[in-house]
Amino acid sequence: MKPMLKDRIAVVTGAGNGIGRAHAISMARHGAKVVVNDIGTSTDGVGTSNGPADKVVSEIIAGGGTAVPNYDSVATEDGANRIIDTAVREFGRIDILVNNAGVVREPRDIDEVSFNDWDVVLKTHLYGMFFTLRRACSYMKKQKYGRVVNTASHTAFGWRGFADYSAAKEGIVGLTRTVARDVADFGITVNAIRPIAAWRGTKENIPLVAANRPEDVASLVTYLVSEEAGNTNGQIFEVWKGHVGIFVDPPPVKEILKNEKGWTTEELAELIPNTLAKGLTATIFPEIIHWD
């Protein structure tokens, strides 16, 4: 196997289990020195433990790789800064950042979502990604090199009961595209993934998710953080059981109503039901997962 990340320094947040663990192990196998970040919390963000990060570090070292643990939370500015600074302190620089840390709360309709749930989910996913990106890019810009992959989700397309999670994950898409443009001139790429794969919070009765291994996602991410992917920036990827694709967002307009003079409300009320909205219903949504 050709080591695609030899001597590169990587930080993977939420790397104690599932997809994050797979990222860390894959990158280490390809020669990267890895900061394995995980606070060891439950899927809903309760409690902490050093165990998950320590276990992954031990696996990497046992396999001949190099890794150190970090137990800070991405949800605070100071914690996120310490995560990135661990790479610089231990290994002298940071070349790769994979933002994977996250929590999820029980699905609820919007009128039942508590402020605490909303706050915890957005702070962990969206604020956390802002904090780590800002710190990492400050180093990467000086180096004139860097690779970042952010973790978004299919949930943001509108899975019922996940308003907090969807808001955070789709915010990550916009953040990714904008930061990619901000740092492109410094040799840095910033991409995102919308993965479908089993993780520690996956219900066993969801075959769609369970069929995809975290390692399948890690293969793509390991490529995206390599030098070979230098021409790929600001893209949103999907990976599911052998399927890899790039999203075109927003989707192309299928049909257009055009009138140079503009439309009245009455005209649109007559035209739209038989054109743009033809066949739509209030409760049935189009397929959102692409795996052909």
Prediction pTM value:
0.88
Torsion of Cα atoms, 135 then 57 then 23 then 206, to 10°: -120
Catalytic residues: 165
Mean pLDDT calculated for residue range 72-90: 97
User: How far is it, in rounded angstroms, from Cα 114 to Cα 108?
Assistant: 9
The full set of domain ranges for the chain reads: 9-246
- The overall average pLDDT reported for the chain is 87
Using alpha carbons only, how large is the chain's radius of gyration in Å?
20
Q: Can you list the alpha helix ranges (DSSP code H) found in the chain?
A: 18-29, 51-62, 77-91, 115-122, 128-143, 163-183, 207-210, 214-224, 265-271
Mean pLDDT calculated for residue range 148-174: 88
Q: Cβ-count burial of 76 within 10 angstroms (0-12 exposed, 13-18 middle, 19+ buried)? A: middle
Confidence of residue 214 (pLDDT cuts 50, 70, 90): confident
Q: Work out whether the CA dihedral 226, 185, 81, 214 comes out positive or negative.
A: negative
172, 125 Cβ separation under 8 angstroms: yes
pLDDT exceeds cutoff 70 at 204 = no
Confidence of residue 237 (pLDDT cuts 50, 70, 90): very high
Output the CATH code of domain 9-246. Answer: 3.40.50.720
Confidence of residue 42 (pLDDT cuts 50, 70, 90): low
Per the DSSP assignment, residues forming a β-bridge with 151 are 193
Mean pLDDT calculated for residue range 55-59: 98
